[in-house]
Amino acid sequence: MFDLQTFAEKFANLVWGTPLVTLLLGGGLFFFVASKAAPYRYMGHGLAVLLGRYDTPDAAGEVSHRQALATALSNTMGLGNIAGVALAIVAGGPGAVFWMWVSAIVGIATKFFTCSLGVMYRGRDSLGTLQGGPMYVIREALPKPFYGLAVLFSLAGLIGTLPIFQANQLTALIEGATFGDAAPAWASLLIGTCLAAVVGVVIFGGLPRVANVAVAMLPTMVAVYLLMTLWVVANNLSAVPGILVAIIREALSPSAVGGGFLGVLLIGISRGAFSNEAGVGTEVMAHGAAKTNEPIREGMLATLGPVFDTLIVCTCTAVVILLAGDWREPRELSGINLTAYAFQSEMGTVGLVLLGLVALILSMTTMFAGWYFGAKCFGFLAGARWQRWFRWFFVLSVIFGATVSIDVVFNLISACYGLMAIPTMVSSILLAPQVLAASRDYFASLSGNLKAPDT
């Protein structure tokens, strides 16, 4: 008899093996060395782009720089940062957090290359609309034998961008807050249907509405989450150094939870990729829609993503969970329920309510952004005129995600993320010389105190 949970687990373990982790880490290190750390040295320029100094409203594209980053962050800075970190700690112990940090640090260079290429090699869909994304980069820049990679990315993206993880964890949080441990069988279906209705209202308005919602809601919720974390840290300040030491010690310990050194590394890198999506390719679709004709400028903006979502927000989640006590004690808890347990332990009911609000907003913005990415994958495969029908499939998947187990949805999404990363990283490594050539000219203009032209 077919067991979906067992299949999903084996599928994820197969994809997230040593070869894929080597591709992500090795590729990121290659980008770092090849660029001579330029994405790190010029990160201040990325902040200037975010603040609107280099906006060019008349350039090709659909959204502004800020909206492009907000859309990308909406897909990453969601429950992957709140529930995904908890799953990583349960599976790999505190040491998994260290490898999430590593994935973010090398991910800065990866995002610079992948997102620069997303603008450099935009292509036209079947209706003639300009589009960005790894599938278009592969189609426009690589020889025809590589076209299969574009198809692989799009097929994996149809599942990887679905909102089933967000719907599942948000439903679990609402059920826990409303019914405790005695949620009736119909609760998940009702909650999932309500979430699907809200998602439908927003995504039927198209990308501009999604981007506007993300820009309006995301910064406030992140600020609230940071303040919650600071409150917990301030009340446990003496314990913080010990937590940080434990993270590093467990990351390098051969007897660490999660299968020793290699097991913790694999868990941390896979969860890190789930959090910041560096090298996965969804971020390329978001930044490829920016109103700019300057690829390197958009690449520099994209480098801010791993800093915000993994180095800052994921670290907040990890520290709170580890400060709350023995994370192995509530063994029946996993995902967002473990994070909720931690905040409630430290802040009482106020912490639980605030976490619920943050989780609601972040998960909803993630679902909104996921529709845009999935629709682009569907349009690439089936033709742009059909992609509007993907909205219905996407909305129905919210209900599916709300009614199945966390292990099924997380493993399915994680495995598809891994499959998406293969064509994204391979194409970016092959096309790295083009990015290096363009970046030399762009950074030279910045060094000469000139405003790099948007031509």
Q: Is the pLDDT of residue 310 over 90?
A: no
Whether the predicted pLDDT of 166 surpasses 90:
no
The pLDDT score that the predictor gives to residue 1 is 60
| pTM attached to this predicted model | 0.84
How many other β-carbons are positioned within 10 Å of the β-carbon of residue 206?
15
Is the pLDDT score of 253 beyond 80?
Answer: no
Residue pair 295/117 in contact (Cβ under 8 Å)? The answer is: yes
pLDDT at 387 over 80: yes
- pLDDT one-digit tens code per residue, 395-407: 899 999 888 887 7
Q: Residue 453: pLDDT band by 50, 70, 90 thresholds?
A: very low
Domain locations along the chain: 7-446
Cα(445)–Cα(441) distance, integer angstroms: 6
Q: Do residues 135 and 154 touch, judged by C-beta distance below 8 A?
A: yes
Tell me what pLDDT residue 452 has.
Answer: 47
- Structure confidence by residue, pLDDT tens digits, 50-67: 888 887 887 877 777 877
End-to-end Cα distance, the chain: 59
pLDDT band at 450 (very low <50, low <70, confident <90, very high): very low
At 447, is the secondary structure helix, strand, or coil?
helix
What average pLDDT does the structure give for the chain? Answer: 83
State yes or no: pLDDT of 30 exceeds 90. yes
| Cβ neighbours for 27, distance < 8 A, ≥ 6 positions apart | 110, 279, 425, 428, 429
Write the pLDDT tens digit of every residue in 298-307.
999 999 988 8
**79 has a pLDDT exceeding 70:** no
CATH number of the domain at 7-446, please? Answer: 1.20.1740.10
199-252 pLDDT per residue, tens: 887 777 655 555 566 566 677 877 888 888 889 888 888 888 888 888 888 887
Selected residue with higher pLDDT from 445 and 32:
32
* Among the listed residues 413, 336, 427, the one whose alpha carbon sits nearest the alpha carbon of residue 142: 427
Average pLDDT over residues 346-365: 82
Cβ partners under 8 Å of residue 258, min gap 6: 91, 92, 93, 95, 96, 264, 267
pLDDT band at 435 (very low <50, low <70, confident <90, very high): very high
Opening angle at CA 161, ends 304 and 117, nearest 5: 45
pLDDT tens across 315-353, in order?
888 888 888 866 665 555 566 778 888 888 888 888 888
Q: Cα-Cα-Cα-Cα dihedral of 285, 286, 289, 291, to 10°?
A: -150
pLDDT at 254 over 60: no
